[in-house]
């Protein structure tokens, strides 16, 4: 009998397994593939590895601006893929080693609940039955498609397929301009591919600050990516020259279509019918203070949880909350208010807390302050002085949200994470001195302006 049996070895599941050592809990982790889950194997990590290759390509392409002359670069997709695989393997191996060191028993097979506290694992050598005082469901999500765009792995692709490209995919239509769609559009655009990005809603990265989204959209479009917002695509047709994607009265012909319209929870075949676990459109409903489902002793974390962000780091936090509650019986809920979101496009778009629209909807009176990167020394030195920092504060009150677009926005957002998390007043946050010359000075400038006393 284990203290905890975890189904799913992605960020939610492996974080729960690793964190359990803090309390001396015995853990079994069931995983049907290698440990690592979507994030390590076909999500965050491989996508960022490809984006890094694209970044190096761009740097070399523009080297002459810096006085460095090189022949125009070429990109070898097979080698890019091999490097991506090496990065993934290194992290998966590191994770496997760490799980071993923490005495987590990893079961290689498909796990299903056979009633509360019982998990049946189908392994290649037969069935294993595990018993746990607690069970954590952390089975993650899979790419969704839209009607007429069933994935075939050849022409109609999900991000799973696109991360395995071993040759130039040619002209690509990307459907959906959320995080996945924008990241792929960005990297393909950087590598010189013809890219058409289609979004049903009226901006890229819907839900993010519109001013920030416009800045990102302008910069992506400036690199030749064709972006169409507020459009619906019709059924594709395959012809001699490629695949035709219609929209309105027009169409484009491409060699591949990448569908990036969201991810669906993988809760279909988990044995949940043998439990009291409740679902909302396939997502597991949990008590937000404990991560426990309606079935006592059965918890859920990560992408399958109803109503929380589908982000690896949200999964980590939910895992920590579940394990802490299991070990101590003290609820220790995730603070979702200050979880950063980073879209790793070039440039990055990162946000934390509330957007202006969300704050207004919640009834806040707000003060908004933005500052562009145009005059920021370090950004000019980097040749990347486009983008902005935007801070939303409650009127005469604390900072409640922020968005950054620009180089390393995903790193810069973290000081604003503290500001939002600790409910700092703009004047309190502005009192700190930023190093010069750094990109983070853009945040410092915005904070000073938000506090009513701008410097530059």
Q: Which one among 10, 46, 117, 176 touches ligand NAI, defined by CB under 6 A? A: 176
Q: Using CB under 6 A, which of the segments 109-117, 125-133, 178-186, 248-256 binds ligand NAI? A: 178-186
For position 292 contacting ligand NAI by CB under 6 A, the verdict is no
When the beta carbons of 263 and 346 are compared against ligand NAI, the nearer one is 263
Choosing from 196, 414, 436, 456, the catalytic residue is 436
Binding test (CB under 6 A) with ligand NAI, winner from 198, 299, 316, 325: 198
Interatomic CA distance for residues 409 and 346, integer angstroms? 10
Contact flag: residue 181 with ligand NAI (CB under 6 A):
yes
Q: Which of these segments, 65-73, 105-113, 336-344, 388-396, binds ligand NAI (CB under 6 A)?
A: 336-344
For position 210 contacting ligand NAI by CB under 6 A, the verdict is no
Instruction: Tell me the two tokens of residue 145.
Output: 């498609």
Stretch that binds ligand NAI, among 60-68, 198-206, 329-337, 362-370 (CB under 6 A): 198-206
Euclidean distance between CA atoms 405 and 259, whole angstroms? 25
Binding of ligand NAI by 146 (CB under 6 A) = yes
The residue among 27 and 243 lying less far from ligand NAI, judged by its C-beta, is 243
Of how many residues is the chain composed? 456
- Partner residues linked to 257 by β-bridges: 156, 173
Binding window for ligand NAI (CB under 6 A); candidates: 160-168, 209-217, 335-343, 420-428: 335-343
* 180 part of the interface to ligand NAI, by CB under 6 A: yes
CA–CA gap between residue 238 and residue 150 (Å, rounded): 13
Q: How many CB atoms lie within 10 A of CB 261?
A: 19
| Rounded distance between C-alpha atoms, residue 177 and residue 168, angstroms | 21
| Min CB(395)–ligand NAI separation in Å | 30
Q: Give the containing element (helix H, strand E) for 244.
A: strand 243-247
Residue 133 Cα to chain centre, angstroms: 32
Per-position b or e across 24-50, b if 16+ CB within 10 A of its CB: ebebbbbbbebbbbbbbbbbbbbbbbb
Asked if residue 402 binds ligand NAI (CB under 6 A), the reply is no
User: Exactly one of 60, 87, 200, 417 binds ligand NAI (CB under 6 A); which one?
Assistant: 200
- Under DSSP, is residue 384 helix (H, G, I), strand (E, B) or coil? coil
Return the closest-CA partner of residue 338 out of 309, 366, 304: 309
> What number of CA atoms fall less than 13 Å from residue 132's CA on the CB side?
31
Q: CA-CA distance, 299 to 318, in Å (whole number)?
A: 10
Question: Is 456 part of the annotated catalytic residue set?
Answer: no
- State residue 76 phi and psi, 5-degree precision: -100, 105
Size of the site for ligand NAI (CB under 6 A): 26
| Region 253-272 residues binding ligand NAI, contact defined as CB under 6 A | 260-263
If the CB atoms of residues 117 and 181 are measured against ligand NAI, the closer one turns out to be 181
C-beta of 250 vs 273, nearer to ligand NAI: 250
- Is 233 among the residues that bind ligand NAI (CB under 6 A)? yes
Which of 232, 237, 328, 335: binder of ligand NAI (CB under 6 A)?
Answer: 232
Tell me if 342 sits within 8 A of 36, measured CB to CB: no
Q: Provide the 3-class DSSP secondary structure of residue 343.
A: strand
Query: Judged by CB under 6 A, which of 341, 409, 424, 429 binds ligand NAI?
Result: 341
Task: Report in angstroms the alpha-carbon separations of 304 from 13, 31, 136, 267, 291.
Answer: 12, 16, 11, 7, 11
Asked if residue 199 binds ligand NAI (CB under 6 A), the reply is yes
Q: Which is nearer to ligand NAI, 285 or 366 (CB)?
A: 285
Contact positions vs ligand NAI (CB under 6 A): 146, 175-181, 183, 198-201, 206, 232-233, 260-263, 310-311, 341-344
Residues with catalytic function? 436
């Amino acid at each position: 009998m284990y203290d905890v049996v975890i189904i799913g070895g992605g960020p939610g599941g492996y974080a729960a397994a690793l964190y359990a050592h803090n309390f001396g809990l015995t853990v079994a982790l069931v995983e049907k593939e290698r440990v690592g889950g979507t994030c390590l194997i076909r999500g965050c990590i491989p996508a960022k590895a490809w984006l890094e290759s694209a970044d190096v390509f761009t740097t070399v392409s523009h080297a002459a601006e810096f006085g460095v002359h090189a022949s125009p670069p070429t990109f070898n997709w097979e080698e890019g893929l091999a490097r991506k695989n090496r990065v993934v393997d290194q992290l998966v191996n590191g994770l496997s080693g760490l799980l071993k060191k923490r005495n987590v028993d990893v079961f290689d097979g498909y796990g299903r609940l056979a009633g509360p506290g019982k998990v049946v694992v189908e392994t290649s050598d037969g069935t294993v039955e595990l018993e746990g005082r607690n069970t954590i469901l952390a089975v993650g999500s899979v790419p969704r498609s839209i009607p007429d765009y069933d994935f075939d792995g050849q022409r109609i692709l999900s991000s799973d397929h696109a991360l395995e490209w071993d040759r130039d995919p040619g002209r690509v239509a990307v459907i959906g301009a959320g995080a996945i769609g924008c990241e792929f559009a960005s990297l393909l655009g950087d590598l010189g591919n013809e890219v058409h990005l289609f979004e049903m809603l009226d901006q890229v990265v819907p839900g993010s600050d519109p001013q920030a989204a416009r800045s990102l959209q302008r910069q992506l479009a400036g690199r030749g990516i064709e972006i169409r917002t507020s459009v619906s695509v019709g059924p594709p047709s395959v012809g001699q020259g490629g695949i035709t994607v219609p929209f309105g009265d027009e169409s484009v012909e491409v060699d591949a279509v990448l569908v990036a319209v969201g991810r669906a929870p993988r809760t279909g075949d988990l044995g949940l019918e043998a439990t009291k676990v409740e679902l909302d459109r396939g997502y597991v409903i949990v008590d937000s203070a404990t991560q426990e489902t309606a079935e006592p002793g059965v918890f859920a974390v990560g992408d399958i949880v109803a109503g929380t962000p589908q982000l690896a780091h949200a999964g980590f936090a939910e895992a920590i909350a579940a394990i802490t509650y299991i070990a101590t019986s003290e609820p220790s809920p995730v603070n979702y208010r200050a979880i950063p979101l980073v879209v790793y496009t070039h440039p990055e778009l990162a946000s934390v807390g509330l957007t202006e629209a969300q704050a207004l909807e919640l009834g806040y009176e707000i003060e908004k302050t933005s500052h562009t990167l145009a005059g920021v020394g370090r950004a000019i030195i980097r040749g990347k002085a486009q983008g902005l920092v935007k801070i939303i504060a409650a009127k005469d009150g604390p900072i409640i949200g922020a968005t950054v677009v620009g180089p390393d926005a995903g790193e810069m957002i973290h000081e604003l994470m503290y500001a939002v998390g600790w409910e700092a007043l703009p004047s309190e946050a502005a009192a700190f001195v930023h190093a010069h010359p750094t990109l983070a000075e853009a945040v410092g400038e915005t904070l000073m302006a938000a506090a009513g006393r701008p410097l530059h």
